[in-house]
Structures are given as C-alpha cells and as structure tokens.
Chain A
C-alpha cells in the first residue's frame, strides 16, 4: 500500500469537493462569486478532475510496485496539468457573460477569474501523488533518467502551456501582462539586492564567525551582537539610517576621500601601536587600546565598503535595467552560459585528464575571464551614463550622493539587508569550525602540518557544508526580507507586494510574491548545487 498516494488523492479530492475552484470577480477589487467544481452548469468534463483526484486512493492499494509507480506518475501528472487547464476553460465561459453569474448591483469592469482554493489543493494533491509514484519507481530501481522524466514532465508541460497562453484567463496573468515591463525591472533590482548584500554579508559574516571561533572570550559577544541586530525592526533601522546617510551624501567626494585617508592612517597607527605595546600595557589600558583600534579600523572600512557597494549597485542597476547596453548584457549572458557549459561538460562527460578535458578547462578559464571583462566593460559603459554621474562638472563637484549613497533608496536598503544576513552566516561559520573533531586536527598536527595547512586542508573543508547551509539560509531569508526595501524607496518585488496589500489586490500581491518564491527556491537549489560540487568527495560520502 502507498500511503503517500492516498494522502495526495485525499487532498485533491476533498479540495475539489469542499472548496471553490474559481471566483468570478466583477472587477479587479470586488470579491465576486465563487464556484465549486460541481456548479459548472452540467458540463461533465469538469468532473474528470474529481475522478482523477480520487484515482490515487484506489491505485494506492495495488501491490505491484512498478506498475503502481507508473500509474501514480501518470495520474499525478495528468491531474497537475488538468487542474490548471480545465478551470481555465470554465473561466473563459464565465467571462463571456459575467452579468449572468453576478449580483445585479455588481460594478462590472474588466471582470477577472481568480483561481481559488481547490486549484491550490488540486496542485498539491497532484504533486504529492507524483512524488509517491516517483518514490515507487525509485524503490524498484527504474533508471534515473526515467525517474527524472517522470518528475519533470508535468511541470514542463505546464510551463509550455503557460508560454502558449492557455492560462491567460487567470487574473494573475492579467496582472502580469499589465505590469510585465515593470516586473522585469523589479526582479532584476531584487536579484541585485540579494546578491550584493549576500556577498558583502558573506565576507563580513564569515570573517566574524572565524574570529569568534578563534577567540573564546569574544565569541559570545559577537554572536550576541549579530543576534540583537536581527531583532531590530527594519522600519526602525531605515529611520535611524535616513539622516546620517543623507548627511554623508551631501559631503564632497574629495573631502570624504581625504577623511578616509586620515582615518586609514589613524587606524594603521592604532593597530601598529597595539601590536607593539599591548604586551607591556596594564589590562585596562590594553582594552581601551583594543576598542580604539577596532573603532579606528571599522570607520574607514565601513565608509569604504558602503560607498563602493552603493556605487557598484548603481552601475549594475543602470547597466542591467536601463536596456541601453543590451548588446553587452547579452554578451555577458552568452559567455556565462558558455563558461558553465564547458565546465559542466568537462566535469561530467569527459573522463579524467584526457586531452579533451584539458582543452575544456582552458576554454572554461578563458570564457570565465571574458565574462569578467564583459562585466567590467558594462560597468565602464554604465558609468558614462547620465544616470550614474550625470550633471557632475568636475571631480571637486563630485559628492558622495553622486556615487549612490543617500538617505533613501538602495543605500539604506543594502545596509539593512547586509546586517540581517549576518546571523546565519556568523552562527554557522562559528558552529562549523567549532564542531571539527579535535582528534582530526591533532592528527594533522602530528603529521607536521602548519597552522594554515591545518585550517585550509582540515578545518575549512569539514566546516564547509555547515557554512554553506548558513549561506543558503541567509540567501533565502534575504529574498523574503528584500521585499521591505520598498518602504525606503529602493524598489524590488516588494513594490508589488506592499501596493497589493494597500489596495487589497490579491493579484498584485501574487505578482510580487510568486517571483520571490521562485527566486528563493532557485537560489536555494543553485547554492545547494554549489555546495555539493565544492564539498570534498570524501566528506560527502561520510555525510551520506
């Protein structure tokens, strides 16, 4: 018996029986009338869905695992596709004469079809059934590629139907066509928030985690501090950042560069004197010296990183979203894909250390280098755009605001997102490094490894999966938290979500939420892939 399949059938069947399948809304906002599957005016073909939904329950009693698996995969896939296709047909019929199905007083203007609860439970039930079938197939060791085909057939067919316009009747698609161009831009903005803040957060977070794992007294302080940061509400953080960042933006570039130089000299002096004198100073003086050094180092570093990140974001934003450099962005994409392809082919399809493998490696290196060069070219092109430094007459007139730092917009959003990414990164780096078995490190020492050899060849590879789990955690969280960037005027997918909430337009909320969910899932999968590829094979074996 296959209990999972039975669960899938129950979810889909009960959903179609008790929940509405569609809602006909007289306009974008008004709630409208809901329709159950059985209310589609005697049209029997919609009952196919109900029968299909209940089929997995019967199939789950079959004993022959292989045939059961194939039947479940077939039923699940068909149910998945038809759950979306058949109600779309019903929706088109409803839209032909909406007034016949709505209250007399309804204000009918561009009526819409909202997919309702039964479609969600139908998809979930279909997916569970599909999963149950694939599990059966795995049990009897059907070839892997057939399993993969079984898993992905329904989603791929659905995607093709989506591109074909079969689902255009649904309100979310109507919303998509009205906002398609904006959606693309918001998506790219969102993507860049996540990548830039995750990149900076990675450097800072892993650094702090490393520091914490080397110094037992500092560890609780660092972990506590990043924990506290996590509890600050984003709105409060934006409010605190607005005025100082606005002031910083007003400063001239040259004056700030001068300040940066002086601060750097002070930091180096403090650090140098600490290194030379610390041993001879009494405890209290030494702590003051240490704190002064830390602050002295943090100020120029934060200033430099902040300005650099804001400027890179501005270049990337202009370069990727203005559409003015389509040739260059296209080239980058092609080079990147080619680099990935040569790398993938070399890794999986070419036996080790053949001549082909070496050739592919060289091709991969040159393609990667070319991609990097193309990105630099794009940035140079974008930096010539009016939108980056437009209106600046000379270097002396250049202000920090011209480089992208301001009290509203992306600068505060990036700072907030970077801070929020720290907790999982620091915690996992610390935990990963601290949990490395001391006996293994000792045996490394016994073999005569130097401290840096022990770190790079023992501790880091062993801690790597845990650190990567932190990166995944932070990345997925950032996709979600990134939606609040809209309240400080930084854009991103949150624009749709917040406006949808304000207007109580479900379609608009979904228009922001669905790409965000997809982005989080893809990011998680990609980072998981990176983790798998970079984890040493021996450690992977032990993990399994």
Chain B
C-alpha cells in the first residue's frame, strides 16, 4: 500500500509540476482544422491550416482524420472547429432520413447549385450551429468516366450520347461502388434523366469502392470494364487519361467543397471568412483536379501542394 501511495503521489507531483510549466497565454484556444481521409480533403484542409497560420492564428492540424462519420461527429462534438465539406454529402448523409428536410432539399437535387447549397447551409446553421462559408465553384460530383481511346472510337463524350449507345445494344461494363449504384440520386438518377438502364450483367459492383478502385479497374480493363464511376475533380482522371462524360441536365446533386465552421469559432473570429473566401473562390474543377493530381500523380505531399498553390497565387509568402 505504501508503494502504491508513493507512486500515486509521484504521478500527481508530475502532473502538478507539468502544469506549473504552462506558458504565458496565447490568444484563446488554437483553431483545430480537420479533414476527411482522401486527397482533395487533405489538400483543402492544409490550405485552411496554412492560410490561418499565415494570418497569425494558432492552428492545430487534424487533417486526414477519418471518414464522413468521424469528421462530422468530431465537428458536432467540438473536437475540431472546421473541415471542408460538400453540400451533396450533407444531403445524402445526415439529411437523408429527416422527411421534412428531404422534402425541401429533394427539389434541389436538380443540379441547381445555389439552391441546394442555400438549403443545406441554412439547415446546418439552424439545427447544428454550423456555418458554411463561401462554396468553391467546383463540383466534385459522381460522374462516369471512359478511356480516351474508347471515347474517340465510339464518338461519345456526353451522357445523352452514352444513353443512345446503351439503348442501341452497345457493349458496356460499368465498374462502380455499391453506394453510387443504389442511391436514388446516384446511378438511378442517371437512368431516369437520360432514359437508359444497365442490366445486372453490365454492372460490376464493388462494395465500398472508391473512384480510385473503379478507375483502376477501367485502366487495367479487367472483366471488360469500359466505364467507371469517378469524381468530377479526381486527379487520377488525368493520370489515366480518362474522359468524363458530360452531364448536361445535371442529374447529380452538386458537391461543392466549402469550409464549414462551428458557429462558436466563426463568431469569435468573424474575419476568417474574409481570409478563406477569396481562396475558395479560385477552386474550380480544373484547379482542384490539378491540385489533386500533383499529390496523386506526382507524389507531392498535400502540404507541399497546398503551399505551392497559395504561394503561386500570392496568398502567402
């Protein structure tokens, strides 16, 4: 017992002496920046980190955190102060099972970027006290990609042309994740909008597959795959030299990357919006694709990619 007491008191002494080392206060708590665990998220997270650091804030870097659930839970629990989010993700995840929200948002899956964004932002502010800043003009939505060779041979660059080809009995094998294949606003929305449908033999559904995996299936041509699920701003599209089929009728919800803050944080530092908004305004599809490619294709670290972009555009030195 004596020994245990000694150990306990030593540990307590350690804790107390450690707290005595606490340094002079900085301005408030550091701002904790998070991100999900894929390239674009990490790059955007690093952009936010570097911009805030450059502006003199103390920042804790928690990018590369985990999936949607972990990042969103962490934001709601106050473990992080901000992470880049997509309005489309909000619609298809946490407003999916709320009927009244679906009703209001449902009309906005038509690809009307502004309406969809405004709805999600207002609900998030009212229900969770989460503030969406200015969305980037990019759309990292689901898309269908084909190889350039196939596109040229068949003269197909848009979804209406693709639908015509399918309905005429053309050979198609689509490699896709299960979520995209089944979600009403995913592949079924393409069917409905463009008037075609793929049979079960024409689909290779990989449970939980990311575009990286479906694209690799297309690149290697395994199982005769000639079409793959992809994201609009994927850096890998460039590496594989794929063509993304255009979606002229906007069948997919819009996924615009946007910094989402806890209300508490943005009220304490309202000037942050002025720092981040001009930068996010530059992130259109080609820019984001280039940034993603510099990480995925060239093997730069996300940190370097973000820094190079911010320095080249004169936001930081």
Contact = CB atoms under 8 A, between A and B. Distances in A.
B308 interface: no
The range of chain B's interface size is 35 or more
B98 interface: no
A48 B42 CA distance: 46
B28 to A, nearest CB: 7
Interface stretch (A225-233, A334-342, A389-397): A389-397
B62 interface: yes
A28 interface: yes
B73 interface: yes
A379 B17 CA distance: 11
Interface string A210-253: 00000000000000000000000000001100110010011001
Contact of A107 (B11, B21, B30, B240): B240
A27 B299 CA distance: 9
Interface stretch (A49-57, A82-90, A142-150, A501-509): A501-509
B70 A503 contact: no
Given A391-B58, A408-B80, A505-B296, A489 B219 contact: no
Contacts of A505: 296, 299
B37 A503 contact: no
Contact of B240 (A29, A250, A488): A29
Nearest to A395: B19
A101 interface: no
A253 B12 CA distance: 12
Given A243-B73, A383-B18, A398-B22, A408 B28 contact: no
Contacts of A179: 301
Interface string B288-313: 00000000111111000000000000
A408 B77 CA distance: 10
A488 B65 CA distance: 6
Contacts of B249: none
A28 B23 contact: no
A332 B135 CA distance: 50
B70 A488 contact: yes
A375 to B, nearest CB: 12
Interface string B3-45: 0000010010001011101110111111000100111001000
B157 interface: no
Contact of A503 (B74, B79, B236, B241): B236
Interface string A475-494: 00000000000111100000
A260 to B, nearest CB: 9
B236 A178 contact: no
A391 B19 CA distance: 12
Contact of A390 (B26, B210, B219): B26
A280 to B, nearest CB: 24
A243 B22 contact: no
Nearest to A174: B299
A120 interface: no
B238 interface: yes
Interface of A: 26-31, 105-107, 109-110, 174-175, 178-179, 182, 238-239, 242-243, 246, 249-250, 253, 304, 307-308, 311, 315, 379-380, 383-386, 388-395, 398, 403, 406-409, 486-489, 495, 498-499, 502-505, 507
Given A239-B73, A486-B66, A505-B296, 19 more contacts: A27-B297, A29-B240, A107-B239, A110-B297, A242-B73, A246-B79, A304-B8, A380-B21, A383-B17, A389-B21, A389-B23, A390-B26, A390-B58, A391-B58, A393-B25, A487-B70, A488-B66, A489-B34, A502-B39
